[in-house]
């Protein structure tokens, strides 16, 4: 009886080994091509970050507006009273004050002294591009873009934007937000090629037309990768330090390499799957708040609105609820701040901006079924929760006491809901940042983090390739 026991255990272990091995092979073959694609595109990501074009200037232009002459009030411009105007601001172009009027995402420009309308969209976009490039090189305005496409993708966030092309050898294109003087993106030919390759290999972009089927295919491949990794670990430890076939050259290397990078594979695949499911199940944001500007009753900003030491950089007409104000961006010495005035120019208290933010937040909160905010504050810097990916700063942050701990981030320049962050977003974002992008490796610096991540991506690619080679060898022997 006792002599038969080891034999029985060996037989049971052998059966389990066969089951584990068969399923490991089946699932790994299904996932290997995807792992190769994801690993290679993972290698591209730090390269894209290192080689992408960077602006020479990061802040919007700060050209002072001359208020020496009396400016016309907005009501004196040749505007149709029934035309929906969603934004109006005063800015300086070509050393002259102009009103920029936004209607149906189109920009119109009126001389604030004469009232004459000028076609300045191209000039404005080119001047913004020159500012962010810190260059007076010749540029060409290409057109305005109101939707994302294969080059200017959703990650850039800002719409509409104007595209300006340079004559540089790298084909640099500059995308600018003319309504808020912001830089949206810089894209040259190498970055465009890297981005296309990344979308092809990492996001399976050719399958975009399949809708939900694309997410289903990617989800099944990620699940196959997770299961194949877990089964591979089971094989390794069940065989007691890799006996028999695993001792033979390539199989032994494959087993030990798989063990060495198993945690990285599980981290990449699990967070990738979580990210995919989270994006697909997230509730869409409510419709954009559309300002109902009382521009017919607004007086023109004048020098009397400013302190002796101040210069006016721009002025925007804003609305929230029944509150209509001028937001003046002023400069005194090196300090730039926002001042608030009513439509007749009377100064308003500093908390006026907070009142506007609170009213915009109420609009979005009502659409989302949220109650009264428990905390509200301005945020002038990106944070772990509201990161650089959201693009817009400063923002008005409004937090709620609902079960999901919702926080709304609103852009005060145009009342756009820049982000809605809930607990599910926080958990998924934390996992993705630290397990997929490995932000914890930043203790080694950006270069060190990129090198370590690239090594793990390369190791996963080599492991997948070796698995395919082993499978091909097995099929050849069977034939």
The answer for residues whose C-beta is within 8 angstroms of residue 208's C-beta and 6 or more apart is: 214
Tell whether the model's pLDDT for residue 10 goes beyond 70: no
pLDDT of 287 reads 93
Give the model confidence (pLDDT) of 317-348 as tens digits: 999 888 899 999 999 998 999 999 999 999 99
Q: Residues 214-237: what's their mean pLDDT?
A: 90
- What three-state secondary structure class fits 89? strand
Separation of CA 3 from chain center: 65
pLDDT of 479 reads 64
For the chain, first and last CA: distance in Å? 42
Angle at the Cα of 403 from the Cα atoms of 426 and 355, rounded to 5 degrees: 85
pLDDT of 21 reads 74
Identify how many contiguous H helices and E strands the chain contains and give both numbers. Answer: 8, 15
Q: Residues 410-415: what's their mean pLDDT?
A: 93
The label of the residue with tokens 């050393």 reads 95
Q: Which two tokens stand for residue 456?
A: 């793990």
Q: Residue 467: name the closest of 11, 18, 8, 36 by CA.
A: 36
Q: CA–CA separation, 221 vs 294, rounded Å?
A: 55
Give the model confidence (pLDDT) of 105-152 as tens digits: 889 999 999 999 999 999 999 999 999 999 999 999 999 999 999 999
pLDDT-based confidence at residue 9 (cuts at 50, 70, 90): very low
The label of the residue with tokens 């007691």 reads 240
State pTM to two decimals.
Answer: 0.89
Give the model confidence (pLDDT) of 237-258 as tens digits: 776 544 554 456 777 788 888 8
Q: Which of 298-302, 436-440, 460-464 tops mean pLDDT?
A: 298-302
Tell whether the model's pLDDT for residue 416 goes beyond 60: yes
Give the model confidence (pLDDT) of 45-84 as tens digits: 888 888 899 999 999 999 999 998 999 999 999 887 667 8
Q: Identify the weakest region by mean pLDDT among 90-94, 159-163, 238-242, 415-419.
A: 238-242
Q: Residues 385-400: what's their mean pLDDT?
A: 94
Q: Which two tokens stand for residue 278?
A: 């989270």
Give the model confidence (pLDDT) of 258-267 as tens digits: 888 999 999 9
Q: CA–CA separation, 175 vs 161, rounded Å?
A: 6
Q: Which two tokens stand for residue 135?
A: 């260059």
pLDDT of 232 reads 85
Q: CA–CA separation, 152 vs 175, rounded Å?
A: 8
The answer to whether the CB of 324 falls within 8 A of the CB of 395 is: no
The label of the residue with tokens 């997410």 reads 215
Q: CA–CA separation, 300 vs 344, rounded Å?
A: 8
pLDDT of 328 reads 96
pLDDT of 7 reads 54
Q: CA–CA separation, 187 vs 167, rounded Å?
A: 13
Q: Report the interhelical angle of 249-281 vs 4-51 (nearest 10°).
A: 60
Q: CA–CA separation, 152 vs 275, rounded Å?
A: 22
Q: Residues 290-308: what's their mean pLDDT?
A: 93
Q: Which two tokens stand for residue 400?
A: 């709620």
Q: CA–CA separation, 371 vs 367, rounded Å?
A: 10
Percentages helix, strand, coil for the chain, rounded to the nearest 5?
50, 20, 30
Give the model confidence (pLDDT) of 267-279 as tens digits: 999 999 999 999 9
Query: Higher confidence at residue 29 or residue 399?
Result: 399
pLDDT of 241 reads 41
Helix ranges (H only) for 52-167 are 121-133
State phi, psi for 372 to the nearest 5 degrees. Answer: -65, 140
Instruction: Report the chain's mean pLDDT, rounded to a whole number.
Output: 89
316: β partners: 89, 327
pLDDT of 82 reads 61
């Amino acid at each position: 009886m006792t002599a038969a026991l080891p034999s029985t255990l060996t037989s049971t272990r052998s059966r389990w080994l066969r089951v584990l091995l068969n399923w490991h092979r089946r699932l790994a073959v299904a996932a290997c091509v995807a792992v190769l694609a994801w690993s290679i595109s993972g290698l591209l990501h730090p390269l894209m970050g290192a080689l992408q074009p960077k602006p020479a200037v990061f802040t919007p232009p700060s050209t002072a507006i001359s208020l020496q002459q009396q400016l016309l009030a907005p009501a004196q411009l040749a505007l149709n009273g029934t035309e929906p105007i969603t934004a109006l601001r005063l800015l300086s172009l070509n050393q002259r004050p102009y009103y920029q009027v936004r209607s149906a995402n189109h920009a119109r420009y009126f001389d604030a002294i004469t009232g004459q309308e000028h076609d300045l969209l191209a000039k404005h976009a080119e001047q913004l591009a020159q500012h962010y490039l810190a260059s007076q090189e010749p540029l060409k305005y290409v057109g305005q873009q109101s939707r994302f496409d294969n080059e200017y993708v959703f990650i850039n966030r800002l719409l509409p934007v104007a595209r300006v092309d340079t004559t540089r050898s790298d084909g640099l294109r500059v995308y600018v937000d003319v309504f808020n003087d912001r830089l949206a993106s810089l894209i040259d030919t190498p970055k465009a090629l890297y981005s296309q390759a990344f979308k092809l290999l990492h996001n399976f972009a050719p399958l975009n037309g399949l809708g939900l089927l694309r997410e289903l295919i990617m989800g099944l491949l990620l699940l196959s990768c997770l299961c194949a990794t877990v089964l591979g670990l089971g094989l390794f430890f069940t065989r007691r330090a890799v006996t028999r076939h695993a001792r033979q050259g390539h199989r032994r290397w494959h087993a030990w390499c798989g063990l060495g990078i198993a945690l990285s594979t599980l981290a990449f695949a699990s967070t990738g799957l979580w990210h995919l499911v989270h994006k697909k199940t997230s509730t869409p944001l409510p419709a954009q708040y559309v300002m109902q500007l009382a521009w017919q009753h607004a007086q023109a900003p004048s020098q009397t609105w400013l302190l002796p030491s101040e210069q006016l950089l721009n002025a925007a007409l804003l609305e929230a609820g029944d509150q209509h104000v001028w937001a003046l961006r002023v400069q005194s010495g090196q300090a730039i701040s926002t001042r608030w005035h009513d439509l007749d120019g009377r100064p308003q208290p500093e908390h006026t901006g907070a009142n506007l933010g609170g009213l915009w937040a109420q609009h979005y909160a009502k659409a989302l079924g949220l109650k009264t905010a428990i905390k509200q504050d301005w945020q002038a810097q990106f944070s772990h929760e509201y990161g650089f990916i959201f693009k817009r700063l400063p923002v008005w942050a409004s937090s709620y006491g609902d079960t999901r701990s919702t926080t709304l981030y609103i852009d005060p320049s145009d009342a756009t809901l820049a982000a809605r962050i809930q607990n599910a977003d926080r958990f998924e974002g934390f996992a993705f940042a630290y397990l997929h992008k490995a932000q914890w490796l930043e203790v080694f610096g950006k270069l060190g983090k990129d090198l370590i991540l690239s090594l793990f991506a390369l190791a996963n690619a080599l492991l997948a390739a070796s698995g395919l080679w082993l499978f091909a060898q097995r099929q050849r022997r069977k034939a």
